Structures are given as structure tokens and as C-alpha cells.
Structure 1
Amino acid sequence: MTDVIDRHEVERILADPAFRVPEADAATTRPADRFRARASRFVNGAAHDARRRRLEELLATLDSGALATAAAARTRAMAPAGADAVAVQVPVACLAAQLGFADADSTPDPVAVLADHYPAGGPSDAADAALVRLLTAAPPPGRGDRRDDAVLRVQLLVQAHVGTAALIMNALGHPAAADPDVPTAELLATVLRDAPPVRTTRRIAPDDHELVLHLGGPDREAPAGRPRIIAFGAGARACPAPGPALAIAVAVVDGLRAC
């Protein structure tokens, strides 16, 4: 396993389809591991491309303005519970509501359990139970829906939990958060550049060597102190939902900065 630190090289690898993601075991029978094998994140080639297109279709149904409004309202209501609770609960609940999950406010807890299992997989009764709970809450198939739409909706919740909560907490912990003259959007851009919420990702090189790609390292081709932002990835596997994620994060951080 080799660490790739420089952002220029990381971006090049992310954009090169010859570098693959480590694949989930498609033969597994454990529910949470089957979820990993049916999501877009842990497959390559045509299977990834088809699932990614469907994810983008589902995301196109979201209203970023409505997400921001809902996130602001939930943040005001939950603020007494503390920033950690707000960061974990609000983004997932807002997204779950727009994606049609029943009792959206109950989804963050099972999503958190599943998210802990998501990167590496492996036998987990807790993750299996969390997945079953989320699939049960997913909207029933409608006209034009596909077999794995519920799985892809759960994938969106899991990835929102992982990235958006960390982005919110990193922003609130940044020294500039205490300066009311710094707009929240500018604060988030600084955090995405200097302290990406997801620090690493993995790829398999054409020679089958595993690489750990660092999203927050130095950038040899950038002006001093201004490395490129690759927090959302690059190429065909870049994060499909930066718009909704930032709409929620801005609303939450705005609300918490005002407390």
C-alpha cells in the first residue's frame, strides 16, 4: 500500500479510469455487505456507470433551497442539544425527508451505524439491523423506479452523514468561525481546501497495487497557501451532490454561528 500525498498527483489518479476502487464482495449474503455490493461506491466499470447515472437522476429531484430552509429550521430546534448532535442529525434528516423516507427524523441513528460499517464492510449484526430499518423506511417503488433505488437512496444518506457532518464540525472549529465578518460560504470553502471532511480515499493501480490518496495534502502546482480543492474528488467518481451538501452545511453552520 502506498500513500499519495500531493494534490496534483491525487487529482490525476482520481480522474484516470485506469485506477479502480476496491470492490465489495458481490457474493456475500450479509445484508449490510450486500448493500455495499449494490451501491455505486464499491463497484467499477459499467455497473458503476449505470448506478451513478441513477444516483444523479435521484439527486436531480432534490430542491437545494428547500433543503437549506429545512436545515435552518431543524438547526434552530436542535441547537440546545449541541453542535455535535446537530451536525450528525440535521443533514441526514433533511435529505431523508426529500428522498421520501418515512419518519425522516428517525433515520440519522441507523445511518450512523451503517456509515461506520460502510468503508470496510465485514460481519456486523448492528449494521445489518440498521440497513433493514432504513430499507423499510425507504419509499415504496413508484412508477419508473428501479430495483435498487432504495439501496441508492440509503447510499446517499450514508455518504451525507460521513461528509456533511465532518464539514460542519470542521467549519465550526476553524478560527474564522468566530469572526462575524467571514461569510459562512467563504468559511466552508476554506475548510474544504485546508481540512477536507473526508481525508483519504483508495484506488487500485493498473498493476493491482493499492494506493491511499490524501485529499488534504500539499499541492506542488498551486500558489503558496492556496492548494486546489479536491474535497469532492475528481473525474467520473467525484461526489455527485456537492450542491445539496453545501446548501445544508451553510444553513446549519449559519444557524450555529448565530447561537
Structure 2
Amino acid sequence: MVITRHAEALAVLADTRYIPPPVRQDAPEGTLAWLRARTSRFSTGEAHARRRRRLEELLAAVDPDALRDAAEKETRERDGRWEGVPVTVLGHALGIHDAGLAAAVRAAAPGYLSGEETPEADAAVRDLLAIVTGADAVARITLLLQAHDATEGLIRNTLRRTRPGEAVTEALECTLKADPPLTVTRRLDRETGDEVRIDLVRANQDGEPHLTFGAGVRPCPAGRHATALAAGVVAGVHGR
């Protein structure tokens, strides 16, 4: 079933009966599939709650305004070559300064949402686990993968739609509503096994607030941080 109406999408997102499609739990340690099975995004129940709390704790220590300023500065210093800036800036805020971080995230990110398993992605995850160490390694890697995949998509779409001189905040809000980096989100009815697909673009156009960062029981915990990173990059590109 495909949902295109805003109210129906909100109802699904607020109902604990609907969960993310399950990911496999038997992958070898250090692979992309192993990582996905340990993230908040693809978890349910107590595991999801525990992993989400840790993400929120990590993000609470990161000031979105500082991220915006750092992203704008980094983009200007790169003369507008902004790819990799969100990961670098967020990595620094999370205490990670390894020069190989952005490349490893870039190699692992394509399969993070899709679930496509490749030797290259598995190798990148091993690189990330060598770079990002400690008890919070998976949580921090999760945030970095999101910063690459979703935040860079938001930046790319916003830059395509705007011109220098336009208000950055308004441009981002318009993009989040009309041209989000993730256009569809999926849920599984755990009572019937039926899959529900929410068409975010059409649902966003049907209501006032956008659903790009989710809603209900599983909203994105890093929406403010992602928007701040994107705003800094867009300002840096247009102001160079």
C-alpha cells in the first residue's frame, strides 16, 4: 500500500504497530549488514529505545549553531567544493579528526539505507570501526552515515533549486517539503506482514508541516543538526 495523504502518513508514523522492515541479524561482525542490525534506525522495541537515547545524548552535546558556522567556514575555505563537509564538520564535533573519515563514510553510505551488501561497503565499515572507536562507535558512525547520505542530498537539492541572495532557511524548508533527499519511507505492519510505503513528496504537499524528518514514534533525532549543516554549506557556496 502506498500512502500519499498527510493525515494518513501521520497516523502510520504514530502507530507502534508499524515498524521498519527487519534487517538480517546473522551477518559477520564488522560488515555493513552487521552495522545496520545495530543501529537505532533499523531496530524496534527496547533495542530501538536504548540506541535512540544514546544518539540523543551524543547530539545534545553538539550545538547546531556551531555546526552551521563550522560548515560555512569549511565550505568557504574549500572555495565552494562542499562534498564531504557535513561529515568532516560533524566528525570534528563528535571528536573524530582522522583524515580518512570522509572517504570511508562515502564508501559505506550507499548501502546503509538500501541494504545492498558489497565487498567495498564491508571494507569501508571495517575502516570506520578502526577510525571511530569506543563504546559509542556504532552510534557515531550512524550519525556520520546519515550526514553523508541524507544531509548531502538535502544540500544538493537545495543548491539546485536556489540562487545566491535567496534566504537560506527558507530555501531549505522549501526543499525539505518539495524535494527531500529521501522520497519514500517504508513500514511493515507487524500484525499482517503487509508493507506500507509513505510517499513523502506527495504527503508533504498535502499538509502544512513536512514529514521529511519523520514524526510520531520514530522522528529523526538529528533534524536540527542536519538542517544546520546544510544551511552552513549553502551559505558558504552562495557567499564564496
Alignment TM-score, normalising by the size of structure 2: 0.92
Alignment of 1:74 onto 2:74: yes
The amino acid of 1:173's aligned partner reads R
3-state SS in 2 of match to 1:29: coil
Cα offsets for 1:178-199 (capped at 9, x unmatched): 262x311011111111111211
The residue aligned with 2:183 is: 199
Identify if the C-alpha distance between structure 1 residues 188 and 209 changes in structure 2 by more than 3 Å, giving closer, same or farther.
same
- Residue 114 (structure 1) shift: 1.2
Identify if the C-alpha distance between structure 1 residues 219 and 92 changes in structure 2 by more than 3 Å, giving closer, same or farther.
closer
Matches of residues 119-130 of structure 1 in structure 2 within 5 Å? 119-130=113-124
Write the distance in 2 (CA, Å) between the matches of 1:125 and 1:245: 29
1:114 to 108, 121, 126: 108
Which runs of 5 or more structure 2 residues have no equivalent in the other structure?
none
Which runs of 5 or more structure 1 residues have no equivalent in the other structure?
142-146
- Residue 125 (structure 1) shift: 1.3
2:211 to 227, 230, 237: 230
Identical pairs, percent: 36
Write the distance in 2 (CA, Å) between the matches of 1:189 and 1:219: 11
Identify if the C-alpha distance between structure 1 residues 116 and 179 changes in structure 2 by more than 3 Å, giving closer, same or farther.
closer
3-state SS in 2 of match to 1:119: helix
The residue aligned with 1:25 is: 24
3-state SS in 2 of match to 1:24: coil
Alignment of 1:253 onto 2:237: no
Write the distance in 2 (CA, Å) between the matches of 1:166 and 1:28: 28
The amino acid of 2:228's aligned partner reads A
Q: What is the RMSD computed on CA atoms of the aligned residues?
A: 1.8
Cα offsets for 1:190-230 (capped at 9, x unmatched): 111111121111100131101221111146864xxxx4311
The answer to whether the 8 Å contact 1:22/1:43 transfers is: no
Write the distance in 2 (CA, Å) between the matches of 1:179 and 1:108: 27
Matches of residues 164-183 of structure 1 in structure 2 within 5 Å? 164-174=151-161, 177-178=162-163, 180=165, 182-183=166-167
Cα offsets for 1:130-189 (capped at 9, x unmatched): 111111111x43xxxxx4x10010000011111111111111111xx2262x31101111
Alignment of 1:46 onto 2:46: yes
The answer to whether the 8 Å contact 2:39/2:139 transfers is: yes
3-state SS in 1 of match to 2:15: coil
Identify if the C-alpha distance between structure 1 residues 150 and 218 changes in structure 2 by more than 3 Å, giving closer, same or farther.
closer
Alignment of 1:137 onto 2:137: no
The residue aligned with 1:144 is: none
Write the distance in 2 (CA, Å) between the matches of 1:153 and 1:122: 21
Following TM superposition, the consecutive aligned residue runs of length 4 or more in structure 1 with deviations greater than 4 angstroms are 218-221
The residue aligned with 2:138 is: 151
The answer to whether the 8 Å contact 1:8/1:220 transfers is: no
The answer to whether the 8 Å contact 2:9/2:203 transfers is: no
Alignment TM-score, normalising by the size of structure 1: 0.86
The answer to whether the 8 Å contact 2:21/2:188 transfers is: yes
Alignment of 1:95 onto 2:94: no
Identify if the C-alpha distance between structure 1 residues 218 and 123 changes in structure 2 by more than 3 Å, giving closer, same or farther.
closer
- Residue 123 (structure 1) shift: 3.6
Write the distance in 2 (CA, Å) between the matches of 1:231 and 1:219: 8
Write the distance in 2 (CA, Å) between the matches of 1:192 and 1:210: 24
1:214 to 169, 191, 199: 199
Q: How many residues align?
A: 238
